[in-house]
């Protein structure tokens, strides 16, 4: 069935891909035909996409309205990759503040909540990724800093659960197993992650990372986890953890949280990019500012 693109969504797409005056980015008719054929195996020149006219922008809008959600999302991602490659090569400045975050929020809404195992056991998800209250989450995060340490740590876990829930990550609260405490879990890309959350005045050392890795090692071989330390991690600790051998922990600090919320970057995409960078490079703590080159701040 056709994707659920709305008029307001199309306005965002128009701005992101410079579709004023019938254009799409810097494509000519020939290069747009070539791009869709080579990158997506799609004939964008087909008569079915000319209902509104033959310009590049009108054909693309018609295409996005008619095609299914998976095709639409795949196309928008490919166009974004082309956009950023051309912009980097030409040295062109970003023309739309927060462009990537706006597109990612749109992709979230189009895809809705991912189907996950045992979803029926969880509370009903929020409706189809309507825009989360980024400002509200950021204000709540700032307010936590005023709490006493013990109350702050407990409240921080609750804050993370609400944040995960807002982006369809099916969070579960803390639980105890034999001899150990787990702060929670969530689901990302069909995989379950355990959560370790700390808000101490000091940065987290290597010992805490190794302890969390030990909790993962006690489970199935593909177990993985997210360690959120609001105060960050010591450089020596991150180095020692990496030298300790293959690990399955991805790290996040308070700066990552505030940057993502301030720039309105969907949290599920932040986690996806952190995991991808970790797998590709072994980097345990990749910051939002590095993962999203269009970071506005």
- Name the band, by pLDDT with cuts 50, 70 and 90, for residue 245: confident
Average pLDDT, the chain: 87
- Name the band, by pLDDT with cuts 50, 70 and 90, for residue 114: very low
Q: Which part of the chain has CATH 3.40.1350.10?
A: 134-291
Q: What are the tens digits of pLDDT across the range 139-192?
A: 999 999 889 888 898 899 999 999 998 898 989 888 877 678 889 999 998 899
Q: What are the tens digits of pLDDT across the range 6-36?
A: 998 999 999 999 999 999 999 999 999 999 9
What is the per-residue pLDDT for 153? 86
Tokens of 82: 């082309």
The b-or-e profile of 119-142 (16+ CB within 10 A means b, else e) is eeeeeebeeebeebebeebbebbe
Checking if the pLDDT of 126 tops 60, the result is no
What is the per-residue pLDDT for 297? 62
Checking if the pLDDT of 222 tops 90, the result is no
From the centroid of its chain, how far is CA 91?
26
What is the per-residue pLDDT for 187? 92
What is the per-residue pLDDT for 30? 93
CATH architecture label of 134-291: 3-Layer(aba) Sandwich (3.40)
The region of weakest confidence among 57-61, 69-73, 198-202, 245-249 is 245-249
Checking if the pLDDT of 213 tops 50, the result is yes
């Amino acid at each position: 069935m056709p994707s659920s693109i709305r008029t307001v969504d199309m306005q965002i797409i128009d701005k992101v891909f410079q579709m004023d005056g019938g254009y799409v980015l810097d494509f000519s008719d020939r290069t747009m035909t070539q791009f869709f054929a080579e990158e997506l195996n799609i004939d964008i020149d087909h008569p079915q996409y000319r209902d509104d006219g033959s310009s590049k922008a009108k054909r693309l809008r018609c295409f996005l309205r008619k095609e299914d959600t998976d095709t639409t999302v795949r196309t928008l991602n490919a166009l974004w990759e082309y956009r950023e490659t051309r912009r980097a090569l030409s040295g062109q400045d970003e023309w739309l503040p927060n462009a990537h975050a706006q597109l990612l929020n749109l992709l979230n809404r189009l895809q809705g909540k991912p189907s996950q195992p045992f979803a029926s056991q969880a509370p009903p998800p929020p409706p189809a990724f309507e825009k989360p209250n980024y400002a509200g989450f950021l204000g709540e995060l700032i307010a936590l800093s005023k709490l006493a340490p013990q109350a702050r740590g407990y409240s921080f876990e609750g804050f993370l659960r609400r944040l995960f829930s807002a982006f369809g990550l099916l969070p579960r609260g803390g639980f105890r197993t034999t001899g150990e405490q787990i702060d929670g879990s969530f689901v990302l890309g069909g995989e379950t992650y355990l959560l370790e959350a700390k808000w101490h005045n000091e940065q987290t050392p290597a010992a805490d990372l190794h302890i969390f890795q030990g909790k993962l090692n006690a489970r199935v071989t593909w177990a993985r986890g997210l360690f959120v330390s609001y105060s960050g991690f010591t450089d020596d600790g991150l180095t020692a953890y990496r030298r300790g051998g293959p690990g399955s922990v991805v790290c996040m600090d308070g700066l990552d949280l505030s940057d993502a919320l301030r720039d309105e970057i969907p949290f599920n995409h932040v986690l996806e990019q952190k995991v991808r960078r970790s797998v590709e490079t072994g980097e345990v703590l990749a910051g939002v500012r590095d993962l999203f080159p269009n970071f506005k701040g």
